[in-house]
Amino acid sequence: MTSLTIARPDDWHLHLRDGAMMRAVLPWTARDFARAIIMPNLVPPVVTGDQAAAYRDRILSALPDGMDFDPLMTLYLTEDTDADDVTAAHQSGLVKAVKLYPAGATTNSASGVTNFDNIRPVLERMAEIGLPLCVHGEVTDHDIDIFDREAVFIDRVLDPIRRATPGLRVVMEHITTSNAVDYARAQDDSLGATITTHHLVINRNHILAGGIKPHYYCLPVAKREEHRLALRAAATSGEARFFLGTDSAPHTDANKLLPCGCAGCFTAPNTLPILAQVFEEESALDRLEAFTSRNGPKFYGLPINKGTVTLVKSAPTLPSHVDTDEGPVTVFDPGFDLMWSVQ
């Protein structure tokens, strides 16, 4: 196959940031994606409906003329979140999901949740009104090994929440383990799971063997090879519960290359070429569209995009860095030469 036309993709998990950083990275997403679920972990976080509306306006003002992109807003769940505010933001059509960060799990998660009992009323309301919960699924206990934090979260937090809140729609975000794949497969269609571009490409050796590679450090951290293979099988299976959430998370090189560097891989510019190659390697190009463009809208109850993108078999010309007023941001290096371009 040398050309593939699919319904225009969406990104079901994206960090756009704000200000100068947002202006620099937004066009790379808007170029290839019609919509994205926008993460609320700004400083300060996007907690209320009013804050989400103002953030959406800032995104749309930063969008270059002629580009067509619909930011799907989320609210950052805190132990003080007001269920009525969440309901109003959902019913106005503004907010498409609420994001759960366990406090301390990742970048700007300090306002997240420590005591999960305190969010029960909001979760019950979300189940009632059909508003999905997007979950960063890692425990933060210092005695749990960082490579085990996702699996332990599923047992100790996620499964109890789902059992206690029947009908709650949940997205397990950026899953990184075969444990998460197995758990997702055992549930009904109230559960979806996103998979990033980079977790289909790297395992923990890429980060740590032969010298430390800060640009491959993200959270949840990439795991063993057997987990990467389970993620590839899930993403390329065509199963409706698995869809693309890039977790493209730009940080300046200055903030990545520190004694305590930031977590995040910036994959917005080259996600589609990388995915085409991954799916081709798995003899699954015919299932790329399900992963990038069909399964996500189905989960969120939104229409599939009317537009299309065409991928052609030719080496793309893509930058290794994107310049921002805050400094350069390195684009994720998949470690192989790309062979597909977005036409």
Considering only 36, 135, 218, 342, the residue that binds ligand DOR (CB under 6 A) is: 218
Beta strands per DSSP E along the chain: 3-7, 10-14, 35-38, 70-76, 95-100, 133-135, 170-172, 191-195, 242-244, 308-313, 321-324, 327-330, 340-342
Is residue 45 within 8 A of residue 111, CB to CB? The reply is yes
Structural tokens at position 147: 């490579």
Q: Which helix (H) or strand (E) holds 58?
A: helix 49-62
CB atoms near residue 288 (< 10 Å): 26
Indicate whether 15 belongs to the interface with ligand DOR (CB under 6 A).
yes
Considering only 29, 41, 203, 295, the residue that binds ligand DOR (CB under 6 A) is: 41
Which residues inside 264-293 make contact with ligand DOR, applying CB under 6 A? 264
219 binds, among ligand DOR, Zn ion, none (CB under 5 to 8 A by kind): ligand DOR
Considering only 85, 247, 280, 289, the residue that binds Zn ion (CB under 5 A) is: 247
194 binds, among Zn ion, ligand DOR, none (CB under 5 to 8 A by kind): none
Q: What is the 3-state secondary structure (H, E, C) of 258-274?
A: CCCCCCCCCCCCCHHHH
Please work out the total of residues on this chain that contact Zn ion, with binding judged by CB under 5 A: 1
107 binds, among ligand DOR, Zn ion, none (CB under 5 to 8 A by kind): ligand DOR
Least spacing, CB of residue 101 vs Zn ion, in Å: 9
Least spacing, CB of residue 149 vs ligand DOR, in Å: 12
Rg, C-alpha atoms of the chain: 19
- Length of the chain measured in residues: 343
CB burial class (10 A; 0-12, 13-18, 19+) of residue 53?
middle
Least spacing, CB of residue 13 vs Zn ion, in Å: 6
Cα separation, 263 vs 213, in Å, equals 11
Nearer to Zn ion, 106 or 178 (CB): 106
17 binds, among ligand DOR, Zn ion, none (CB under 5 to 8 A by kind): none
Coil, strand or helix at 35: strand
Nearer to Zn ion, 85 or 247 (CB): 247
Least spacing, CB of residue 309 vs ligand DOR, in Å: 25
CA atoms within 13 A on the CB side of 238: 6
Least spacing, CB of residue 249 vs ligand DOR, in Å: 4
106 binds, among Zn ion, ligand DOR, none (CB under 5 to 8 A by kind): ligand DOR
Cα separation, 47 vs 113, in Å, equals 13
Cα separation, 253 vs 239, in Å, equals 36
Least spacing, CB of residue 133 vs ligand DOR, in Å: 15
Indicate whether 198 belongs to the interface with ligand DOR (CB under 6 A).
no
Indicate whether 249 belongs to the interface with ligand DOR (CB under 6 A).
yes
Per-residue contact flags (x/-) with ligand DOR for residues 105 to 124, judged by CB under 6 A: -xx-----------------
Indicate whether 246 belongs to the interface with ligand DOR (CB under 6 A).
no
Which residue, 315, 296, 4, is CA-closest to 132?
A: 296
230 binds, among Zn ion, ligand DOR, none (CB under 5 to 8 A by kind): none
Structural tokens at position 5: 């036309």
Catalytic residue numbers read: 247
Say how many Å lie between the first and final Cα of the chain, rounded: 15
Please work out the total of residues on this chain that contact ligand DOR, with binding judged by CB under 6 A: 12
Indicate whether 215 belongs to the interface with ligand DOR (CB under 6 A).
no
Cα separation, 100 vs 87, in Å, equals 16
Which residues in this chain contact Zn ion in the complex, by CB under 5 A? Answer: 247
Which residues in this chain contact ligand DOR in the complex, by CB under 6 A? Answer: 15, 41, 106-107, 136, 218-219, 247, 249, 262-264
